[in-house]
């Protein structure tokens, strides 16, 4: 756990700081959700800042996110490793819950299909991928595909949303590891982090943008959804001066990605000795 253990508290002080009943505190300790207290006397135990922080988080996750104790048990250790400001931010709860759900879902047939789609659509684009390709990559019979997704377009939209979710998660995780507290990234630093976050699935984002520009039904809606969520994630991490430039930051990350992934390799090939014209 991140919190220090120097200061100690009585049960009455823990109750005052967390708003939980003594019986609830004891229950969380008995079930292993919270570490055991240090015994100071026969009927007296002492608690430390680890207990207070854990109990406050548990209460917030139950009341504001509606999580079960089982779900909290899975994400609480990860939250307690974050800087204090990050652990108590609702968007971090959401991302950890989604990441856990995604890990579980990845083992299911639908999860395997989604992973196959994410890889195939990023590498080859919507037009070049067939349902048979995805079924084969997921080690499923072609007929099984339609038990989980109604069409190639439906799984394409799901893959685009998942690519956006992962980009937002990558951005948040790297931003949280920085020396500054959350919500304090300067523009250029955020641009570097966001560029790295979108690059793994950049081709899928560009493909979605091209299809939306062709006014293909549904593509514009999914594009807005993906980039609105990413925009909000980025904006929440920026310092006050940079917040107004969050949209510009997203645009520059995409343009920079096109330059690195598409334009630069073509120019290098054009200028290489012995190569023919493009």
Domain ranges of the chain: 1-81, 90-271
Domain 90-271 has CATH 1.10.10.10: no
CB atoms within 10 A of CB 49: 17
In the numeric block, which tokens belong to residue 141?
């019979």
**What residues of the chain score a pLDDT lower than 70?**
1-6, 43, 64-65, 78-107, 176-183, 261-278
CA of 272: how far to CAs of 22, 150, 261, 275, in Å? Answer: 73, 46, 17, 6
pTM: predicted TM-score of the whole model, two decimal places: 0.59
Tell me how far apart the alpha carbons of residues 169 and 105 are, in angstroms, rounded to a whole number. 17
Length of the chain as a residue count: 278
Strand order in the sheet with 8-9: 8-9, 44-48, 38-41
Q: Would you say 93 and 65 are in contact if contact means Cβ atoms under 8 Å apart?
A: yes
Q: Would you say 140 and 109 are in contact if contact means Cβ atoms under 8 Å apart?
A: yes
89: left (phi over 0), alpha (psi -120 to 50) or beta: beta
pLDDT of 124: 93
Domain 1-81 has CATH 1.10.1660.10: yes
pLDDT of 172: 82
CA of 210: how far to CAs of 148, 150, 261, in Å? Answer: 26, 23, 17
């Amino acid at each position: 756990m991140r919190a220090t253990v120097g200061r100690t508290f009585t049960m009455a002080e823990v109750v005052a700081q967390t708003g939980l009943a003594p019986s609830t505190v004891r229950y969380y300790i008995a079930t292993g959700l919270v570490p055991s207290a240090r015994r100071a006397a026969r009927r007296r135990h002492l608690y430390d800042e680890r207990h207070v922080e854990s109990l406050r988080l548990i209460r917030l996750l139950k009341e504001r996110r509606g999580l079960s104790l089982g779900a909290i048990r899975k994400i609480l250790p990860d939250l307690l490793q974050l800087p204090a400001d990050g652990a108590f931010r609702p968007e971090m709860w959401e991302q950890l819950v989604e990441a856990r759900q995604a890990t579980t879902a990845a083992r299911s047939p639908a999860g395997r299909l989604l992973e196959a789609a994410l890889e195939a659509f990023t590498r080859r684009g919507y037009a070049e991928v067939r349902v048979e390709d995805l079924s084969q990559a997921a080690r499923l019979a072609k007929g099984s595909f339609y038990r989980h997704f109604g069409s190639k377009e439906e799984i394409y939209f799901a893959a685009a949303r998942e690519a956006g979710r992962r980009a937002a998660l990558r951005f948040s995780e790297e931003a949280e590891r920085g020396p500054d507290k959350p919500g304090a990234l300067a523009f250029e630093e955020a641009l570097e982090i966001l560029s790295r976050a979108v690059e793994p699935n950049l081709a899928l984002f560009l493909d979605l943008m091209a299809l939306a520009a062709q006014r293909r039904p549904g593509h514009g809606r999914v594009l807005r959804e993906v980039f609105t969520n990413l925009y909000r994630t980025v904006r929440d991490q920026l310092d006050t001066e940079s917040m107004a430039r969050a949209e510009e930051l997203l645009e520059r990350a995409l343009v920079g990605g096109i330059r690195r992934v598409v334009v630069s390799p073509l120019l290098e090939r054009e200028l290489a000795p012995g190569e023919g014209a493009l």
